[in-house]
């Protein structure tokens, strides 16, 4: 307790800063309340109030898990792994040229090719793989292929974006050194750029593979094969004790893939 | 021409990764075996795919000539749900994750609180939005309220983890200085930690806003409200021009949110 000398007391912010801050917060709160009202217009609160009872009901049905169901899950698990791995492979193969076309220092044309490559990246990135799967199931029919292509399409943007940022950050001196030996364009990429981005490339690919394992576990919900297909059928028959087993398998898969990807990235980077 | 020096050895470039030859062979042959197994286990009905190509072409046409008007009512409802869900869930997520994030920072919280908060984070991070949405829709009924809860829950894991890491990275000299002036725990948080992490927290919140919008367009597929439900219906009805319109709107909003959030983040930091 300091009895202030006589005039000024130290304050955290000036009055003007204070006012501006309050205004900012006020608008944020107002907007949030407005959105909240708009969102909950059609909410039936009786259902919400009923939720704890529903939760305990579902919880009661989920336990104990039906462990026997595990034996039917090995094939879907293998399918899920394949969707993720083959999808990542397709995505990476397409992403490499896109990344080179999008990177400012390797693109053949800044004004024509680069925007197209960036558009591909943005389109692929902003559409979730579940939506890609939804589309592909409608187009080429349900099954693993739709899942693989969906994962592949979603991965292009992610891998290409991170890879082109890595390409833009390379050491230009090495490129100049290789160019000075009379190397052609392809040789410059091969000997000066690739060795510099290779660790980043493997890191990005494994990281994306890890994300893809997560995503491929649920693609079956829209009919694209894998564990999600079993999840969908268990949910629609209200077999909650099977749902528990599937959740546990998904959780275990995700943990293992995260561990693998962390190990590989540690080794590579 | 002094070509006398030509020796029997030519220069071979050293491998960037996997220096040991044996491991390289093991990994390469392992991947080849895996690929053969995986590709063989994917059953593709090529006839169905061939039939689907025509539909795929129609979808591309629909994407190029989107039909905004005939389903505009549904699209509008879906978009409003998505946008309001995005904002409210981000705000609620930030409000909840600030105390959890502080509790999960090793330099501020005592061990029991630390463990408790870390386990909340792990729980929230290990399941995907879609799976949480399935459970919450079963409990709270269809509609954006379940979606709001899903996104809030997912935001908590993301924001608290990054916030906690940020608090742990704080400059401890400032914390010591404030503590030496006789400040209580609360004052330490307010005057030493908060100024250091606030820009990052705003940045993270905006980033999460971006992610939440992307997710809000997906969780509608399992009934949690938002534009995903509209998209699902449009694809189920084979109305590719409406689906194309929705996808274009999603991409546009994602772009706007991403660019404005990265702009604000740069301005704040």
Range of the domain at B134: 71-268
Q: Is the pLDDT of residue B7 over 60?
A: no
Q: Which positions ≥6 away from A134 have C-beta within 8 Å?
A: A222, B221, B231, B232, B235
User: Do B39 and B190 touch, CB atoms closer than 8 A?
Assistant: no
- Given this model, what pLDDT does residue A94 score? 94
Structural domains counted in chain B: 1
Residue in A with minimal Cα distance to B79: A39
A222 interaction partners in chain B (CB closer than 8 Å): 221
Distance from CA of A87 to the nearest CA of B (A): 11
**Helix residue ranges, H only, chain B:** 21-41, 46-64, 72-103, 111-126, 129-140, 144-168, 172-180, 185-188, 194-216, 227-236, 240-268
What ipTM was assigned to the predicted interfaces of this complex? Answer: 0.77
pLDDT, greater one: B92 or B258? B92
Sketch out chain A's domains with CATH numbers: 70-268 (1.10.3720.10)
Task: Find the CB nearest A144 among B42, B141, B214.
Answer: B42
Give residues 104 to 163 of A whose Cβ lies within 8 Å of B.
122-123, 125-128, 130-131, 134-135, 138-141, 143-145, 148
Mean pLDDT, rounded, for B251-265? 84
Q: Is the pLDDT of residue B35 over 70?
A: yes
- Given this model, what pLDDT does residue B5 score? 55
Q: Is the pLDDT of residue A5 over 70?
A: no
Q: Which residue has the tokens 């924001």?
A: B159
Mean pLDDT, rounded, for A37-45? 78
Residue in B with minimal Cα distance to A147: B42
Q: Distances in Å between the alpha carbon of B179 and those of A40, B113, B171?
A: 45, 21, 13
Task: Find the CB nearest A140 among B17, B49, B81.
Answer: B49
Q: Which residue has the tokens 């099977």?
A: A242
- Given this model, what pLDDT does residue B170 score? 83
- Whether A130 sits inside 8 A of B130 (CB atoms) is yes
Cβ neighbours around B235 below 10 Å, total: 23
Q: What is the pLDDT of residues A160-214, one digit of tens each?
A: 999 988 988 888 888 899 889 988 888 888 888 888 888 888 888 988 998 898 8
Structural domain contains residue B208: yes
- What is the CATH number for B108? 1.10.3720.10
Measured distance CA(B94)–CA(B90) in Å, rounded? 6
Distance from CA of A71 to the nearest CA of B (A): 18
Measured distance CA(B94)–CA(B201) in Å, rounded? 9
Measured distance CA(A214)–CA(A235) in Å, rounded? 19
User: Do B227 and A127 touch, CB atoms closer than 8 A?
Assistant: no
In this complex, is the C-beta atom of A216 within 8 Å of any C-beta atom belonging to chain B?
no
Structural domain contains residue B253: yes
C-alpha radius of gyration, chain A, whole number = 26
Q: What is the pLDDT of residues A210-241, one digit of tens each?
A: 889 888 888 888 888 788 888 888 888 888 88
> Euclidean distance between the first and final Cα of chain B, in Å?
62
> Euclidean distance between the first and final Cα of chain A, in Å?
54
Q: B94, B190, B83, B157: which is closest to A25 by C-alpha?
A: B94
- Given this model, what pLDDT does residue A35 score? 85
pLDDT, greater one: B95 or B14? B95
Q: How many CA atoms lie within 13 A of A120 on its CB side?
A: 22
Measured distance CA(B80)–CA(B103) in Å, rounded? 35
Cβ neighbours around A124 below 10 Å, total: 24
Q: Is the pLDDT of residue A71 over 60?
A: yes
Q: Which residue has the tokens 């979808």?
A: B59
Tokens for B72?
A: 């505009």
Instruction: Pick the residue of B13, B30, B88 with the most A CBs within 10 A to test the interface with A by mutation.
Output: B88
State pTM to two decimals.
0.81
B135 interaction partners in chain A (CB closer than 8 Å): 58
In this complex, is the C-beta atom of B98 within 8 Å of any C-beta atom belonging to chain A?
no
- Whether B127 sits inside 8 A of A44 (CB atoms) is no
Q: Is the pLDDT of residue A95 over 90?
A: yes
- Whether B135 sits inside 8 A of A58 (CB atoms) is yes
Q: Is the pLDDT of residue A251 over 80?
A: yes
């Amino acid at each position: 307790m300091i009895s202030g000398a006589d005039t000024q007391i130290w304050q955290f912010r000036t009055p003007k800063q204070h006012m501006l801050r309050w205004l900012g917060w006020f608008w944020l709160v107002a907007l949030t309340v407005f959105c909240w009202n708009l969102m909950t217009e059609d909410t039936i609160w009786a259902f919400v109030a009923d939720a704890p009872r529903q939760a305990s009901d579902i919880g009661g049905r989920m336990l104990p898990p039906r462990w026997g169901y595990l034996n039917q899950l090995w094939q879907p698990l293998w399918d899920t792994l394949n969707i993720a791995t083959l999808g990542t492979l397709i995505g990476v193969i397409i992403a490499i040229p896109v990344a080179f076309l999008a990177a400012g220092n390797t693109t053949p044309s800044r004004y024509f090719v680069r925007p197209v490559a960036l558009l591909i990246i943005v389109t692929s990135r902003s559409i979730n793989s579940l939506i890609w799967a939804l589309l592909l199931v409608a187009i080429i029919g349900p099954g693993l292929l739709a899942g693989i292509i969906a994962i592949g399409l979603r991965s292009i943007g992610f891998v290409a974006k991170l890879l082109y940022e890595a390409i833009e950050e390379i050491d230009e001196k090495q490129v100049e050194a290789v160019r000075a030996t009379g190397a052609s364009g392809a040789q410059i990429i091969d000997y000066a750029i690739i060795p510099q981005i290779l660790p980043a490339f493997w890191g990005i690919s494994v990281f994306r593979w890890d994300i893809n394992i997560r995503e491929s576990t649920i693609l079956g919900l829209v009919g694209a094969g894998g564990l999600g297909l079993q999840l969908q059928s268990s949910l629609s028959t209200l077999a909650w004790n099977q749902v528990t087993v599937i959740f546990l398998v998904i959780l275990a898969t995700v943990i293992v893939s995260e561990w693998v990807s962390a190990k590989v990235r540690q080794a590579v980077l | 021409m002094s070509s006398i020096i030509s020796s029997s050895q030519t220069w071979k470039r050293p491998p960037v990764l996997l220096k040991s030859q044996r491991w390289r062979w093991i990994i390469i042959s392992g991947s080849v075996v895996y690929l053969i197994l995986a590709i063989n286990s994917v059953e593709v009905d090529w006839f169905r795919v061939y039939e689907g190509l025509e539909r795929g072409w129609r979808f591309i046409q629909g994407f190029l000539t989107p039909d905004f008007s005939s389903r505009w009512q549904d699209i509008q409802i879906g978009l409003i749900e998505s946008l309001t869900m995005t904002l409210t869930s981000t705000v609620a997520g930030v409000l909840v994750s600030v105390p959890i994030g502080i509790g999960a920072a090793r330099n501020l919280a005592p061990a029991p609180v630390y463990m408790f908060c870390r386990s909340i984070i792990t729980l929230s991070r290990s399941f995907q939005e879609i799976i949480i949405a399935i459970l919450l829709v079963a409990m709270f009924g269809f509609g954006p309220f379940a979606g709001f809860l899903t996104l809030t829950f997912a935001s908590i894991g993301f924001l608290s983890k990054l916030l906690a890491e940020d608090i742990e990275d704080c400059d401890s000299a400032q914390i010591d200085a404030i503590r030496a002036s006789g400040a209580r725990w609360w004052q330490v948080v307010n005057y030493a930690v908060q100024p250091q992490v606030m820009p990052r927290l705003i940045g993270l919140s905006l980033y999460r806003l971006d992610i939440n919008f992307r997710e809000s367009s997906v969780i509608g597929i399992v009934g949690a409200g938002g534009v995903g439900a509209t998209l699902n219906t449009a694809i189920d009805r084979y109305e590719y021009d409406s689906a194309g319109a929705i996808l274009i709107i999603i991409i546009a909003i994602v772009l706007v949110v991403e660019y404005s959030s990265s702009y604000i983040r740069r301005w704040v930091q």
